[in-house]
Amino acid sequence: MESIKDQMDLGMMDLNQATFYVGEGGFTGLRYKGEDYKHIVLRRIMPIDQPLHYISVADQENKEICILKAVADLPQDQRDIVERELDSRYYSPEVLDLMSVKDKLGYVYMEMRLRNKQGKEYDKSCAVKDVSRNIRMLSNNSVIIFDVDGNRYVVSDLGALNKQSLRRLDAYLF
Amino acid sequence: MNEKGGTRRGSPREGEEVSQIKEPVPGYMKTAFQANGVAADKLIYAIHTDLTLEGDFSDVYVAVDNTHLHILYGLEEVVKVEGARRIVAQYTTHKAEAYPLIDIGELKTEKLLSTCRLISVVGETSEDNDDTSKDDNARKKLLMIFSLGLMGYVDRLIKVVKNIREGVDPMREVIVEDTLFCPKCATRYPEPDRKLCPKCTDKMSIFFRLLSFFRFYTGKVAAVFVVVLAITGLSILAPYVGTRMFVDEVLSPDGQWYRMVGTIVLFFMGIRLLNTGFEMLQGVVVGKIMPWIIYDLQMRIFEAMQRLSVGFYTSKRTGALMNRVSRDARNIYWFFVDGLPFIIINVATFIGVFIVMLLMEWRLALICISIIPALWLMYRLIMHVYRRYHHKFWVINSQMNNMVSDAVNGQRVIKAFAREGEEANRFANLGSKQVEVDVARNNLGFTAFPAIGMFRFLGQVVVTVVGGMMVINGEISLGMLLVFLSYLQMLAGPINFLATVSNWWARCMDAAQRVFEVVDAHADIVEPENPIHLPEMKGEIAVRDVWFQYDPATPVLKGMSLDVPAGQTLGIVGKTGAGKSTLANLIARLYDVNEGSVHVDGVDVKQLSLTELRTNIGIVSQEIYLFIGSIIENIRYARPEATLEEVIWAAKMASAHDFIVTLPDGYETRVGAGGQELSGGERQRLSIARTIIQNPKILILDEATAAMDTETESKIQTALNKLQTGRTTIAIAHRLSTLKDADMLAVINEGKVVETGTHEDLMRKKGEYHKLYSIQMEGLKVISMD
């Protein structure tokens, strides 16, 4: 019997044969091994621990074309394309401040100060249902919040949150 | 022995001490057999059963020596002579029988509804004619009948007889160390597997064992004890200062501190303040210790659970036991936090108040104390009735809840059968019963407790009248009378508390008993002392004449033998309950065989290192369990050091990668309770990926695709086919089409292998496999025609 390592063929991307591009319609495409995939789907295999490593590249039928091991291995222009596509898919603004957290009839209403990937800051109100499922610790130091509309908000460093915000959020962290 | 007879109604007979009961033939049985002309010193093994051949209950002693099986029917009389630990038995024989071993042939048991028969089968029995009912009646003889629960003991007797016949040590593999009866008081254990006598369980020893958990906190516990005593002392002092000193020393012109109202009020407030401070301190210290005690207890339970064998969890009794473990720990917690400190306070208050009263004025003290027993009895009686009503109310209430739940879940059926009215009536009937009980309970509560209050008031009246006379006569001061009345009030609290706390105490000790039972339980499957290590397991499996039963009355495997060469695939076919999954459990040594042996690479699995064996065996079964955690953690469960790339590869092999990457959190998606919900097929593919990561030498596929739809099954089957390459595989499946490609097939029926061969061989043979296959193919044709 072969060992696992002998058998492994993960379909890793051959960088020499891959070119990411943005098509006329604004969709990200990939030219790979002689094929032109005009609209690809990029998915993080480990979105939390390794957001820029192990990116699954699939076609519109969700058939995996290959796996990109590290975004950093790409030339800068293609790297920007991939990162923009990933940011767009995994849109989850950073929570900077929790101005108010109120528990009413099974819903938690939050007023937050957020910052998106482009560095723009804005205020947002949202409602969270079933807090044990929708406010989750990602690691010892980071939290993800899902609101009733399906939006995701991330606190990537609990230590960086101000004391009042931390106190307001603390009751829901398990 | 200390079988049923060995311990029943007091195992130590004729002056034997309890500790000497682990004998294959106990002394009192020897005496009985000796009295019937049997050479008792030659007896090898004896058991005590309970029915005559006519079906009457009797004390039946059954013993075996090298030549005969002896049975005595009679009556055992037990006489206690000295306390509970020294008991003498007298046996009156009604009938004695002896069967030469050479005449009785093979011994077998036959299970009836609630009883069993011991049957001798004379002459050779053919291999495939295992069922005694199919034997020729002329060759069978009914030897005895006994209750189903004694099957285990009779099985041992049969084993001894078999060993004698084979010329090996008669007691080889025969256990004599368990008992159905309490060795102290001879009460039968309510649950045979739980050696717990309701009469003899020493609640104090459980309590002290619980207290042993406090050993790391002795300083704090001592502090709590001192504080509790201080609280009690201050509680007793408060009325003395507030009434006796205030009236006699401050308000009375003859008093020591006449007119010093402010001083005495300050003094009184000081006492109250100190008391409150001590109460807070006690609460804080107890609150700090108890969570750690519960943590210790829960850790002990959890560690014990990891050590125990699968059999422990699958038994009904332990299933219920495990469910209660966390609740039990909570029961213990509340007793120690809310109960024990108050027991100490109340007992100390009661004793302290009584002593102070005696010291102050013994005549009034005796009058006060005289009403206490009556008050105590009244509380006990009323609480007893009140609890009965409360329990009744609770039972009806839960029935009503069940009915509501039934009505909600079964609305479609109710409406389909137009039974709305009847359902409402059923609910109304139960509701009216609940009303009746509630009214009775309320009546009791609203009348009995005021009545007790009235009785207490009468006591106060007597004390007031007698005390008043004493004040008038100048025998005691007014302050003294008032403090007596206050103390009388104070006594009511401890009486009320102590009358009701006994149930709390019993519940806590019961909870502690269950917890310790899990902690003390021994694992059935243990690592051999000197395990054999196989540096490179090949995966050759040999099953040799294996007998196995989950419960004594129903053997599942009856002499099964099989061989699977390394690297080959064996398909196992058979009806539900034929013993297919049991075989898988025995190979992985989740259970141990009763007889026979299972070998891997020529070594008995009982001699192999358990960890090594299990890391080399991968099981993919219909029951999939995903732990709370991420997908990657679940796949890595079998090999935590596996790299991310290995995990991705395993998931790809298991056709799981495609659905995992579409999940928002990819491999970091949380699954298990409270996590992402996955379909049965997705869960199954994760479990296959977990097995691939394990990279086992032996793979057991136990109905791995049984509950899947065709498309999912096809995906999983592809994954499984990839997984099987180069491994010894045992594939168990209902759908025979999935096993066609196996190197060999074994058809199992009633715990035995009835046919072996390849698909083609067995189809040609037109036996059991052909029959099953044809039925399935016919079924498929009908479905496709539909």
b (16+ CB within 10 A) / e for B752-773: bbbbbbebeebeeeeebbeebb
Q: Flag if B670 and A136 touch (Cβ within 8 Å).
A: yes
Question: What SS3 state is found at B111?
Answer: strand
Across B450-474, average pLDDT: 87
Cα dihedral across residues B685, B690, B693, B694: positive or negative: negative
User: Which tens digit of pLDDT belongs to each residue from B734-770?
Assistant: 778 778 778 899 988 888 888 888 888 888 888 888 8
Same domain? For A52 and A116 the reply is no
What region, left, alpha or beta, does residue B418 occupy, with left being phi > 0 and alpha being psi -120 to 50 degrees? left
User: Which tens digit of pLDDT belongs to each residue from B243-283?
Assistant: 888 888 888 888 788 888 888 888 888 988 998 999 898 88
Is B405 part of a structural domain of the chain? Answer: no
Partner residue facing B666 (CB), from A5, A45, A64: A45
Partner residue facing B674 (CB), from A4, A50, A132: A132
What region, left, alpha or beta, does residue B187 occupy, with left being phi > 0 and alpha being psi -120 to 50 degrees? beta
Q: Flag if B650 and A4 touch (Cβ within 8 Å).
A: yes
Same domain? For B160 and B218 the reply is no
Same domain? For B304 and B348 the reply is yes
| pLDDT, position B182 | 64
B673 touches chain A (CB under 8 A): no
| pLDDT, position B541 | 92
If pLDDT is split at 50, 70 and 90, which confidence band does B126 have? Answer: very low
Is A3 part of a structural domain of the chain? Answer: no
Q: Flag if B646 and A136 touch (Cβ within 8 Å).
A: no
Q: Flag if B668 and A47 touch (Cβ within 8 Å).
A: yes
Q: Flag if B652 and A10 touch (Cβ within 8 Å).
A: yes
Same domain? For A148 and A109 the reply is yes
Q: In what helix (H) or strand (E) does residue B289 lie, and over which residues does it extend?
A: helix B261-307
Is A139 part of a structural domain of the chain? Answer: yes
CA distance B303 to B568: 38
**Token pair 């050696």: residue:** B195
- Read off the CATH number of the domain in which B566 is found: 3.40.50.300
Is pLDDT at B695 greater than 90 in this prediction? Answer: no
B536 touches chain A (CB under 8 A): no
DSSP string, B668-691: G-EESTTS----HHHHHHHHHHHH
Q: Flag if B646 and A5 touch (Cβ within 8 Å).
A: yes
Q: Could you tell me which residues come within 8 angstroms of residue B472 by beta carbon, excluding any fewer than 6 positions away?
A: none
| Closest C-alpha among B385, B384, B301, B329 to residue B507 | B329
Question: What SS3 state is found at B723?
Answer: helix
Is pLDDT at A120 greater than 60 in this prediction? Answer: yes
Residues of chain B with Cβ-Cβ distance to A135 below 8 Å are none
Question: Domain end: A89, A107, A124, which one?
Answer: A89
Same domain? For A77 and A138 the reply is no
Is A1 part of a structural domain of the chain? Answer: no
Q: Flag if A8 and B645 touch (Cβ within 8 Å).
A: yes
Same domain? For A59 and A117 the reply is no
Is B101 part of a structural domain of the chain? Answer: yes
CA distance B230 to B227: 5
Same domain? For B496 and B573 the reply is no
| pLDDT, position A33 | 93
Is A4 part of a structural domain of the chain? Answer: no
HSE (CB half, 13 Å, CA atoms) of B477? 18
Q: Could you tell me which residues come within 8 angstroms of residue B732 by beta carbon, excluding any fewer than 6 positions away?
A: B571, B572, B580, B581, B583, B584, B700, B701, B702, B703
Percent of chain B residues topping a pLDDT of 90: 12
Q: Flag if B649 and A45 touch (Cβ within 8 Å).
A: no
Same domain? For B50 and B22 the reply is yes
Quote the pTM value: 0.66
Same domain? For B231 and B335 the reply is yes
In terms of CA atoms, which chain A residue is nearest residue B537?
A1
B677 touches chain A (CB under 8 A): no
Same domain? For B138 and B233 the reply is no
Q: Flag if A3 and B695 touch (Cβ within 8 Å).
A: yes
Q: Flag if B668 and A48 touch (Cβ within 8 Å).
A: yes
Is B737 part of a structural domain of the chain? Answer: no
Helices (H) and strands (E) in chain B, counts: 23, 19
Q: Could you tell me which residues come within 8 angstroms of residue B557 by beta carbon, excluding any fewer than 6 positions away?
A: B546, B547, B548, B549, B579, B582, B583, B586, B593, B751, B752
Same domain? For A40 and A19 the reply is yes
Same domain? For B505 and B547 the reply is no
**Token pair 């999939």: residue:** B624
Is pLDDT at A67 greater than 90 in this prediction? Answer: yes
Domain carrying residue A67:
10-89
Is pLDDT at B490 greater than 60 in this prediction? Answer: yes
| pLDDT, position B654 | 85
Is B604 part of a structural domain of the chain? Answer: yes
Between A50-64, B385-399, B535-549, the lowest mean confidence (pLDDT) is in B385-399
Partner residue facing B665 (CB), from A47, A56, A62: A47
Is pLDDT at B430 greater than 50 in this prediction? Answer: yes
Q: Flag if A4 and B646 touch (Cβ within 8 Å).
A: yes
Is B13 part of a structural domain of the chain? Answer: yes
Same domain? For A75 and A114 the reply is no
User: Which tens digit of pLDDT belongs to each residue from B637-661?
Assistant: 888 899 999 999 999 888 899 999 9
Give the alpha-carbon dihedral of B308, B312, B313, B317, to 10 degrees. Answer: -140
Average pLDDT, chain B: 80
Residues of chain A with Cβ-Cβ distance to B667 below 8 Å are 45-46
| pLDDT, position B599 | 93
Provide the domain count of chain A. Answer: 2
CA distance B479 to B252: 10
Is B190 part of a structural domain of the chain? Answer: no
ipTM above 0.90, yes or no: no
Select from B635, B668, B692 the residue whose CB has the most chain A CBs within 10 Å, as the one to mutate to test that interface: B668
Question: Domain end: A89, A115, A150, which one?
Answer: A89
Is B366 part of a structural domain of the chain? Answer: no
Q: Flag if A56 and B661 touch (Cβ within 8 Å).
A: yes
Same domain? For A104 and A82 the reply is no
Angstrom CA distances, B492 to A123, B96, B283, B458, B506, stand at 62, 65, 23, 13, 23
In total, chain A counts a number of residues equal to 174
Is pLDDT at A18 greater than 70 in this prediction? Answer: yes
Q: Flag if B668 and A58 touch (Cβ within 8 Å).
A: no
CA distance A138 to A51: 13
In total, chain B counts a number of residues equal to 786
Q: Helix crossing, B478-520 with B362-409: angle to 10°?
A: 40
Same domain? For A35 and A15 the reply is yes
Same domain? For B354 and B218 the reply is yes
| pLDDT, position B328 | 77
Is A67 part of a structural domain of the chain? Answer: yes
In terms of CA atoms, which chain B residue is nearest residue A2?
B726
| pLDDT, position B195 | 61
CA distance B481 to B464: 7
Across B10-15, average pLDDT: 37
Is A156 part of a structural domain of the chain? Answer: yes
Same domain? For A59 and A109 the reply is no
Question: Domain end: B144, B166, B188, which one?
Answer: B166
Q: Flag if A46 and B632 touch (Cβ within 8 Å).
A: yes
Same domain? For A83 and A15 the reply is yes
Residues of chain A with Cβ-Cβ distance to B697 below 8 Å are 1
| pLDDT, position B2 | 37
- Which DSSP letter does residue B521 get? P
CA of A168 vs chain B CAs: smallest distance (Å): 23
CA of A72 vs chain B CAs: smallest distance (Å): 18
Across A32-57, average pLDDT: 92
Same domain? For A69 and A100 the reply is no
| pLDDT, position B133 | 47
B267 touches chain A (CB under 8 A): no
Q: Helix crossing, B340-360 with B362-409: angle to 10°?
A: 160
User: Which tens digit of pLDDT belongs to each residue from B305-328?
Assistant: 777 777 666 654 555 555 556 677
B670 touches chain A (CB under 8 A): yes
Please answer whether residues B661 and A56 qualify as being in contact, where contact means their C-beta atoms are separated by less than 8 angstroms: yes
Is pLDDT at B202 greater than 70 in this prediction? Answer: no
In terms of CA atoms, which chain B residue is nearest residue A62?
B658
Partner residue facing B668 (CB), from A4, A49, A152: A49
| pLDDT, position B200 | 65
If pLDDT is split at 50, 70 and 90, which confidence band does B79 have? Answer: low
Is A17 part of a structural domain of the chain? Answer: yes
Same domain? For B154 and B231 the reply is no
User: Which tens digit of pLDDT belongs to each residue from B566-600?
Assistant: 888 888 888 777 788 888 888 888 888 888 899 99
Q: Which residue has the higher pLDDT, B380 or B64?
A: B64
Q: Flag if A46 and B664 touch (Cβ within 8 Å).
A: no
Interface residues of A toward B, Cβ cutoff 8 Å, are 1-5, 7-11, 43-50, 54, 56, 58, 62, 64, 67, 132-133, 136, 152
Is B60 part of a structural domain of the chain? Answer: yes
**Token pair 């490609």: residue:** B741
Question: In this structure, what token pair is assigned to residue A58?
Answer: 């699939």
B646 touches chain A (CB under 8 A): yes
Please answer whether residues B486 and B239 qualify as being in contact, where contact means their C-beta atoms are separated by less than 8 angstroms: yes
Angstrom CA distances, B10 to B32, B88, B169, stand at 16, 8, 29
Domain carrying residue B28:
4-166
Is A2 part of a structural domain of the chain? Answer: no
If pLDDT is split at 50, 70 and 90, which confidence band does B179 have? Answer: low
Provide the domain count of chain B. Answer: 3
If pLDDT is split at 50, 70 and 90, which confidence band does A77 have? Answer: very high
Same domain? For B236 and B338 the reply is yes
Question: Domain end: B148, B166, B184, which one?
Answer: B166
| pLDDT, position B132 | 45
Partner residue facing A8 (CB), from B646, B665, B725: B646
Q: In what helix (H) or strand (E) does residue B86 lie, and over which residues does it extend?
A: strand B86-100
B630 forms beta bridges with B670
Question: Domain end: B520, B554, B572, which one?
Answer: B520
Same domain? For B153 and B229 the reply is no
Same domain? For A57 and A109 the reply is no
Question: Domain end: A40, A73, A89, which one?
Answer: A89
B641 touches chain A (CB under 8 A): no
B690 touches chain A (CB under 8 A): no
Question: What SS3 state is found at B47?
Answer: strand
If pLDDT is split at 50, 70 and 90, which confidence band does B20 have? Answer: very low
Partner residue facing B662 (CB), from A2, A43, A132: A43
Q: Strand locations in B450-540, DSSP E?
A: none
User: Which tens digit of pLDDT belongs to each residue from B499-526?
Assistant: 777 777 777 887 787 777 777 777 778 7
Same domain? For B592 and B541 the reply is yes
